[in-house]
């Protein structure tokens, strides 16, 4: 079989396979990947699935996040996923720093962005130019990774957060200070529940909304409106939130969503805040529907 014929065959096969060319093989866990030289910008306890996850950015991504609204080509984000170590009662062992202690190392989840890479995917699934894969702990690329599942879960973050679930944390980390909301507008009357629900994608990385769901990085928010702050059973709050002594009425939530650090200095909630009063009002309207 001549080379041209073989190439034509391969192309035909790729096209008949539906989503053409989804190719996790090209996402590389960089040879220089070393947790000591990459920027560690977040550590997430995941009580919902008994994991603890370490989030790292390569230099291109860390530099880009300082200035730009999206990360540059060449950005690589690596997430190390561990099982949490369990105590004899089967509960995660929590260190003095509030973090779940690491048990078995499960995998590296990797996303990489290069010019044109997104073109492999239909517009309804495409995450800009990000591609995704998983590496085993001994650094073998799991080329059978279902990239469509990664894309679907990261997609709702949209362009505003460059499809990165931990976008706010990365930005807060590299820009030094938590951006303070200076020109914050007053909360504007009644909120729009549907818009609030859409804005909740900025929260759902860390919070579940359904009362029956488990805590994630942050406490479950079902029934949060009117609840005393820092009191959801089974969640390890910071001392800042435990000692707040407030209830989440609308005014308190409005202040919290404008800048959590201003309400409870030292809180573990890494979120820069919404400057627009309308955004906060819409989100609060949605939170009320969870009671
Ligand atoms: C069920 C939804 C879901 C799916 C599916 C998913 N992710 Fe994520 N991903 C998350 C969440 C949530 C985070 C934030 C870290 C955390 O709290 O666990 C995250 C974070 C990441 C990060 C760190 C950067 C960021 O966006 O915050 C990488 C890298 C990543 N995921 C790669 C992958 C890869 C590779 C796949 C497919 C194999 C994948 N993800 C599938 C939900 C998902
Ligand atoms: C990066 C993860 C993260 C994101 C994103 C995030 N939160 Fe949080 N949130 C937390 C953590 C962690 C806490 C616990 C804070 C502490 O203990 O200091 C928390 C606490 C809260 C509380 C207090 C709950 C209680 O029981 O006292 C509310 C309300 C809240 N978050 C709402 C939101 C909303 C609404 C959003 C989206 C706009 C959001 N959070 C985004 C991590 C996050």
Per residue of the chain (291 residues), give pLDDT as tens.
Answer: 344 333 333 333 433 334 445 566 688 888 779 988 899 999 999 988 999 999 999 999 999 999 888 999 999 999 999 999 999 999 999 988 888 999 999 999 999 999 999 998 999 999 999 999 999 999 999 989 999 999 998 887 777 789 998 888 898 889 876 554 444 455 456 789 998 998 898 898 889 999 999 999 899 999 999 999 999 999 999 999 999 999 999 999 999 999 898 899 888 888 878 878 888 999 999 999 998
Question: Distance between CA atoms of 44 and 65, rounded to whole angstroms?
Answer: 20
- Find the 22 Cα to ligand 1 centroid distance in Å: 18
Residues making up the chain, counted from first to last:
291
Domains of the chain and any CATH numbers: 20-174 (3.50.70.20), 193-288 (1.10.760.10)
Cβ-count burial 152-181 (b if 16+ within 10 Å, e if not): eebbebeeebbbbbbbbbbbbbbeeebeeb
* Atom number in ligand 2 closest to CA 264: 18
* Atom number in ligand 2 closest to CA 229: 27
Cβ–Cβ < 8 Å for 79, 56: yes
Read off φ and ψ for residue 201, nearest 5 degrees.
Answer: -60, -20
Name the helix (H) or strand (E) containing 53.
strand 51-57
The pTM for the full model equals 0.76
Query: CB within 6 Å of ligand 1 — which residues?
Result: 44, 46, 53, 55, 77, 79, 109-111, 132-134, 145, 149-150, 153-154, 164-166, 205, 217
Tokens of 165: 């679930």
The three-class DSSP label of residue 105 is: strand
């Amino acid at each position: 079989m001549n080379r041209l014929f073989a190439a034509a065959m391969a192309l035909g096969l790729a096209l008949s396979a539906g989503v053409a060319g989804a190719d996790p093989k090209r996402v590389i866990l960089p040879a220089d990947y070393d947790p000591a030289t990459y920027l560690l910008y977040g550590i997430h306890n995941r009580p919902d699935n008994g994991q603890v996850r370490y989030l790292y950015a390569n230099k291109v991504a860390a530099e880009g996040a300082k200035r730009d609204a999206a990360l540059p080509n060449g950005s690589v984000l690596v997430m190390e996923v561990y099982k949490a170590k369990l105590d004899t009662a089967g509960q995660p062992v929590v260190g003095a720093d509030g973090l779940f202690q690491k048990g078995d190392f499960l995998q590296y989840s990797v996303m990489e962005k290069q010019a044109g890479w997104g073109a492999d995917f239909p517009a309804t699934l495409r995450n800009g130019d990000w591609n995704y894969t998983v590496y085993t702990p001994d650094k073998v690329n799991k080329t059978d990774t279902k990239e469509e599942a990664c894309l679907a879960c990261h997609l709702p973050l949209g362009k505003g957060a460059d499809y990165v679930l931990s976008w706010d944390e990365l930005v807060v980390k590299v820009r030094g200070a938590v951006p303070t909301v200076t020109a914050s507008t007053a909360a504007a009357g009644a909120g729009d529940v549907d818009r609030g629900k859409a804005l909740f994608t900025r929260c759902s990385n860390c919070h579940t909304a359904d009362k029956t769901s488990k805590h994630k990085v942050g406490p479950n928010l079902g029934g949060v409106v009117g609840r005393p702050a820092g009191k959801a059973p089974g969640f390890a709050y910071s001392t800042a939130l435990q000692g707040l002594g407030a209830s989440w009425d609308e005014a308190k939530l409005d202040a919290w969503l404008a800048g959590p650090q201003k309400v409870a200095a030292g809180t573990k909630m890494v979120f820069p805040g919404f400057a627009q009063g309308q955004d906060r009002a819409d989100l609060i309207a949605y939170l009320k529907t969870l009671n």
